[in-house]
Structure 1
Amino acid sequence: MSEEEGFRGSFYTGTVVKATRTSKFIVEYDKLFEDEEGTKPLQETVNEFQIRPIAPREKKREFKFSEEVDAFHNDGWWEGVITEVNEDGKFAVFFRSTKEQIEFGEEDLRLHREWVNGAWKPTLEGEEEEEEKEEKVPDTTQEKPIESPKDAKFSKGMPVEVSSDEDGFKGAWFAATIVEPVGKDKYLIEYQTLRTEDDSDFLREEIDTLHIRPHPPQTIIIDRFKKLEEVDALYNDAWWVGVVSKVNTFPKYSVFFKDSNEELEFQHSDLRPHQDWINGKWVTPSKVRLSNFNSSLFL
């Protein structure tokens, strides 16, 4: 995984050449080179958290709209979301990291997976059946069995969003992945953007279900947001609910946040339509709610 600006989060295939005494590794890339002729493979020293095994690929897969995928682009694999399924067998993929949408063939896509505790999540088809069999084996070492992923509201490897009750972060939703259930209505999660204090790995926490929701579906592609429209804005690695207070020169908008009484400017690519997770369903908020905002704030 690259940590360079502009390439952060992208993955490149390579080979471990040597392990150092400081828990770092020298790797040699397969498709990145030091010279323009492409005769001398690039070697770099990387941290352990930047390395993972080569991700698996199904022999055949029917990719769907809004599915999270990895796309092979510029000699590396980049995480994105399918925004269009075209009749010619091509797929439009949107990349949050670069705010770009690019078209790919099926051969350049694979289902997005996370490397969690030494295993790929979600698993390959066929491996899931073996996991289910293992989950059904009774555990007699505990008086109260832990809720299994099959019966849980959230399954292992599932992308979710997590809210915080800490001062200054109330109302913010952070992207995360379910690692495993740790008891009734409680899960161990791993954040996708927040890291540990020593920056050695992504931060993990035990969170109750009141603070967890599925990743919102990207079923709506918005060309323009309108004044007074309720949105989520990506700020400080989290999504915050606000209202478009002013439509500036495209692609910029001013967004007002009621909880903090602040107004900030955002790019179109850093906004999404706001949705609420209510009783196990995603609900688009009614415009009636916006009447609670003082209209003078937006004049």
Structure 2
Amino acid sequence: MDMYVVKYKELLENYECGPLTETVFNNEVRPVPPHDQIRATGFAYLEKVDALDNDGWWMGKITRKEGSNYKVDFETTGDDEIACPLSCLRFHLDWRHGNTRTLKSDPSLFHTSKLSLSLIYSTYVANGL
């Protein structure tokens, strides 16, 4: 399987000594999300979302709403749960056959048992190895 070196524009190495660089499989690389994405006005219980946290977009599920924040559970990081304002949430983006899709635009994704990636890179520069 092909691999790429990804150099992030916004994520930093430990101790902030420069941009984070890591090697990833080709199926983990995603383009920058479309700017014309549907703006969410709210989310339902257990709806899949992408949450902006620690300078990256992470896939999670809505567990409840507390005031103006939504609690998001991240199964892939050991069941971490954080409170996110609506401005830091978007419909989950899935990369299929060269296209970005959301559950709202393609409900058939709801029945997909395996998602291709839990971390959606927000910004990157990819170079082939």
Q: TM-score, normalised by structure 2?
A: 0.70
Residues 156-178 of structure 1 show CA distances to partners (whole Å, capped at 9, x for unaligned) of 64222xxxxxxxxxxxxxx62xx
Equivalent pairs, count: 113
Per-residue deviation, 1:108: 1.0
Query: What residue number does 1:186 align with?
Result: none
Residues 1:84 and 1:52: Cα distance change in structure 2 (over 3 Å): same
Give the CA RMSD over aligned residues. 2.7
Per-residue deviation, 1:59: 6.0
Per-residue deviation, 1:115: 0.2
Task: Output aligned runs, 1:50-61, within 5 Å.
Answer: 50-56=28-34, 58=37, 60-61=39-40
Taking the aligned partners of 2:102 and 2:38, their CA distance within structure 1 comes to 16
Higher strand share: 2
Query: What residue number does 2:54 align with?
Result: 74
Report SS of the residue matched to 1:107. Answer: helix
Unaligned runs of 5+ in 1: 1-21, 129-154, 161-174, 177-190, 194-299
Report SS of the residue matched to 1:158. Answer: helix
Preserved CA contact (<8 Å) 2:72 2:81: yes
Unaligned runs of 5+ in 2: 117-129
Per-residue deviation, 1:41: 0.9
Taking the aligned partners of 1:192 and 1:101, their CA distance within structure 2 comes to 20
Report SS of the residue matched to 1:64. Answer: coil
Q: TM-score, normalised by structure 1?
A: 0.33
Preserved CA contact (<8 Å) 1:114 1:122: yes
Residues 1:63 and 1:24: Cα distance change in structure 2 (over 3 Å): same
- Using CA pairs below 8 Å that are at least 6 residues apart, which structure has the higher relative contact order? 2
Residues 1:39 and 1:104: Cα distance change in structure 2 (over 3 Å): same
Please say which structure displays the higher CA radius of gyration. 1
